[in-house]
Amino acid sequence: MNEARRSIFSRLVAGAILLSLVLLAGLWWLTHQTVSTSLQEAAQTEVDVDLAGLADIYATGGQAELEARIADRVALTPVEGSASHYLLADSRGTVIAGDLPRWPALDPMVSESGVIAIGKNSQGFARAVQLGPDLKLVVARSMAIRAPVLSSLTMAFALGGAVFVALVALLGRLAALGLQRRIERINLAFREPQDGSGLVATRRSSAGDEIDELTAHSAAALARMNDLLAAYKDTSEQLAHEIRTPLSHLDNRLVKALAEKPDAQIAERLAEARAEIRRIVQTLESLLDIAASKAHRGDRSGLAPVDLSALVTGICDLYSGSAEESGLELRWNVAPDVTIDGDERQLRRLVTNMLDNALKYVPSGGSITVTLEPGPVFVVADDGPGIDPRDRERIFERFYRGRNKGEEVSGSGLGLALAHAIAERHGLALTLEEPAAGGLGGAVFRIAAAA
Amino acid sequence: MRILYVEDDPRSAAAVGDILAQSGDVLVWEDNGSAALLRAGLENFDVIILDRMLGDIDGLTITRRLREGGIGTPILILSALGRSSDRADGLDTGADDYLAKPFEPAELVARLKALHRRATGREHSAVILYGAFECHVKARTAFRDNRHLALSPKEFELFRYFMENAGEVVTREMLLRQVWKMDFDPQTNVVDVNIGRLRRKLEDGFARPALETILGSGYRLLDGMP
């Protein structure tokens, strides 16, 4: 049901039904009014003609003749539903002739006309005239025919309208389903981008309409994305292979040289050279990891729920000893059961890099506070030297090293860049908070949902 | 140990051959995937070492086909693809361990021994006894000379891993992966510091050392006998 409410096509069909209903109601009202008015106008004409005839009779034949003619007319069997009714009365309203029981609320002096009640259930159009100083006449025409005509009209509209709305709903639904299926195919292709080939194989409708064009564009975009990802993967694997293999051979030679038991000084140099090889490999790996994270930014596939609370607690526990030995106070406030859809290995790397960074730059005697709150919001705050304002913009760039660092601080200059890329890959943003005015300085790194 | 090594680069093969000759293991080398698949099915090996980027069939496919074929010989992938996502791919495919080139020779030897030990079923017992040490796996308690050692939960896990690999070299990478589930080496000296704390608890009040640091490769649990 939720799915149906979210679809634009269901809303379009619902809108079409509503619009049909409104139009039908308006059309019914207009017809109803027109029919009703013309029926009344017809009655009015008949009454006026009749009245003119009777006035003529009165003028030529006098009151007695008029009474006789009225009696004749009343005696006539009326056509169904359109009987005429008469009343001839003196100025006080005393009935002289006719079949209406009493004088209606019409003023004969101004020849007033209007709708009056005839009998119990029926209505009629009537006009009253003053024939002489002590004689007045009212002629009424029953409009009993009006009610059945109008109710048949309403019934016809109701039945016709129901059929019409049902047709609109049915055809609309069919058209919507067709469109929905075509759009859904595009959505599905984007949801499972690795399998984008399905979109290309889709049979084009004969129309070659906008959706066909969108489908073609989507297929091309997905194919290009997959090609780029494949090319990226191939390139990074070859790069890794072609650099690591010769480095591995080089390392083997150094191991062999060390096995010959050289003197202490040479052994130390050889060990340093091996450490250098390790650093090159780590830099290469970090660069490739950053590229991979950036390539997968916004891609939700392959992510699974990760218990961030347990992950952060475990890493803080691992680092507590090292912090203590460096003369640092490491505190952590971790809210329970904070989870995120993510790549657990990468998230471990992210938290580790943030702690490595803090432990590296905060001098002995300082403190580091790690906070995890639902959201998730992950904050690493310290009271170290902080980040120089000139570095704030560039601190997350590759190979950028801040100014406020001690002499002994070493590293690849990739830790924060990798953390930044991993955060982005998870839809999070790693930011450096503005230092609080008059605060103790220090750096506050915050990872939270990207704005 | 009888080891099958599949590697298309002769220099890498020679280097591994040198390392394993010193530990007295027998190395059978194949330089292509199809020959390796055939051989792995025909002969018995204690461990198979696989390169990933081979000329014909890549290492992950070999792993998958061996596992699908019901061959459960422990597999160590030794590859130039060493990023943590590469390692995850390898382990997900059915390999038992993953080591990236360039590697420390002692690391390779230690990993192979650990794999072989695990395959021959020398673990998962309720109580592990080694020298003066006792590790009660279920009760999560540790003893030396019948004296209870007050270990934190994580220290117990470390201790248990050392007991499972008693007398053998355990490398920093193995500890990071097995105990802390990290497939990379953090910049901070976290492993050394945590080992240092465990060492103090294992040695406090005893005359003989319990843990030996082996420079450049890792640590070894000693029997701690007086």
Decide: B5 and B30 in contact? Cβ < 8 Å.
yes
CATH class of A304-449: alpha beta
Domain locations in chain A as residue ranges: 2-150, 193-295, 304-449
Mean pLDDT estimate for chain B = 89
Q: Which residue of B has its CA nearest to A409?
A: B187
Model confidence band, residue A399 (pLDDT cutoffs 50, 70, 90): confident
Nearest to A259 by CA among B224, B182, B18, B202: B18
Closest Cα in chain A to B22: A259
CA distance A217 to chain B (A): 32
Taking CB atoms and an 8 Å cut-off, how many pairs form between chains A and B?
A: 92
Percentage of residues in chain A having pLDDT higher than 70: 91
- Predicted confidence (pLDDT) at residue A194 exceeds the cutoff of 80: no
What is the pLDDT at residue A77?
Answer: 63
Angle between helices B105-119 and B10-22 (to 10 degrees): 70
Query: Would you put residue A111 in left (φ > 0), alpha (ψ -120 to 50) or beta?
Result: left
Instruction: Tell me how far apart the alpha carbons of residues A48 and A279 are, in angstroms, rounded to a whole number.
Output: 113
Q: Would you say residue A80 has pLDDT above 80?
A: no
Q: Say which CATH architecture domain A2-150 belongs to.
A: 2-Layer Sandwich (3.30)
Q: Per mean pLDDT, which of A214-228, A398-412, B32-46 is the most reliable?
A: B32-46
User: CB of A288 within 8 Å of any CB in chain B?
Assistant: yes
User: Would residue B103 be called left, alpha or beta, if left means φ above 0 and alpha means ψ between -120 and 50 degrees?
Assistant: beta
Residue range B130-149, pLDDT digits in tens: 999 999 998 999 999 999 99
**Candidate from A67-81, A98-112, A415-429 with smallest mean pLDDT:** A67-81
User: What integer pLDDT is reported at residue B5 of this predicted model?
Assistant: 94
Asked if A237 lies within 8 A of B197 by C-beta distance, the reply is no
Structure tokens at A43: 């009655």
Q: Which residue of B has its CA nearest to A353?
A: B186
Whether B81 and chain A come into contact, CB under 8 Å, resolves to: yes
ipTM > 0.90 (yes/no): no
Q: Fold match between A2-150 and A304-449?
A: no
Q: What is the pLDDT of residue B97?
A: 92
For the segment A97-112, the average pLDDT, to the nearest whole number, is: 86
Please write the tens of the pLDDT for every residue from B195-219.
999 999 999 989 899 999 987 678 9
Q: Please, which residues bridge with residue A401 across strands? A: none
Is residue A345 less than 8 Å (CB to CB) from chain B?
yes
pLDDT, tens digit, for every residue of A133-191?
Answer: 888 999 988 877 777 888 888 899 899 889 988 998 899 889 888 888 888 888 888 87
